[in-house]
A and B are shown apart, each in its own frame.
Chain A
Amino acid sequence: MKTLKEVSIITAISVVLAFGVNYFSPNGIALVGQWDISQGVVSAVAKNDVVMDELEISDVSHAKALFDTGHVLFVDARSFEDFNAGHVKGAVSLPVGHFAEQIDGFLELYDLDRPIIAYCSGRTCQDSHHLAQLLMERGYMNISVMIDGFPGWEAEGYPVD
């Protein structure tokens, strides 16, 4: 009985603290996240979430149509190793983890109004959303995210390098 009471006290303190901190923390998350990949990129739906639904291209063929116009720059948010192992034809590598050191060179090569499609490795990967946010902070105005990423592109048999 004593143990049950103490465990209840410990649990109650933990739960109250947990919801209190989550409510006030700038990194707090929603009570229910978005974990259904048919709905788009998965995320905990945090206050500072980088996932922006309005940027998402959920149909790879739509991305392919933009690819065919020849004006759109595909930017690969994955690691250099993943990029080198295969990427969308003509894509540029800009890994999120190396953004700070790569962005100056990127800015020199591509105008701010250049249409950009960012991608990573699919709907469980948020790197392309993160990259889109970083690029917008640097002034890029026309950015989309191909949420099925390179695996989705490759599966359709679209051009790769």
Chain B
Amino acid sequence: MIKPVQRILQNSWLELAARWILGLTFIYASYNKILFPADFAKIIYGYDLFPNALINLIAIILPFVELVTALALISGVYPRSAVLVVNALLVAFIILLSINLIRGHEFDCGCFAANNSGSTAATEATLIRDFIYLALGLQVFYYRRTRRWRLWQTRGGVEN
């Protein structure tokens, strides 16, 4: 039982695919937020969970954290650290979505700046999607062998 699971988790092509899927997704996610920070700030306000003083700072900084970690994942520069940040963001998104889902607060997730209706079904779909991304992120994080297609290659093992 352990062996096949191990083999999948340590599959270098799966690791590469996961890194690229996460990277491209996060670049896409950051694009509209960077172009239209005021709209993104309004979406953050709509979550009704953040102090007013922090809303704009989150709107300014978060999209670039998404972009920079995405580029790091795709290029294979600091992949473990980058995916650690990505996983932390995904866990944060999951917590925020869950809080609003549980208290029945209607809002626009703003994940990709595509206005969805803020309906419960949409939030649940978003949550499931975030869990799938998190699974990919954990594979990249716990992967121990040499990673494929990196801009510069370091030794394999725990180091990378």
Contacts and interface: CB of A to CB of B under 8 A. Distances in A.
- A and B bound? yes
Nearest to B50: A35
Interface size band for A? 20 to 34
B119 to A, nearest CB: 16
B64 A33 contact: no
Given A6-B81, A42-B45, A49-B38, A32 B61 contact: no
A14 B65 contact: yes
Contacts of B72: 10
B38 A46 contact: yes
Contacts of A31: 56-57, 60
Interface of B: 34-38, 41-42, 45-46, 52-53, 55-57, 59-61, 63-65, 67-69, 72, 78, 80-82, 84-85, 159
15 contacts: A7-B81, A7-B85, A10-B65, A10-B69, A14-B69, A17-B64, A18-B61, A21-B34, A22-B37, A27-B37, A28-B37, A30-B56, A46-B38, A49-B38, A126-B42
Interface of A: 2-3, 6-7, 9-11, 13-15, 17-19, 21-22, 25, 27-33, 35-36, 42-46, 48-49, 124, 126
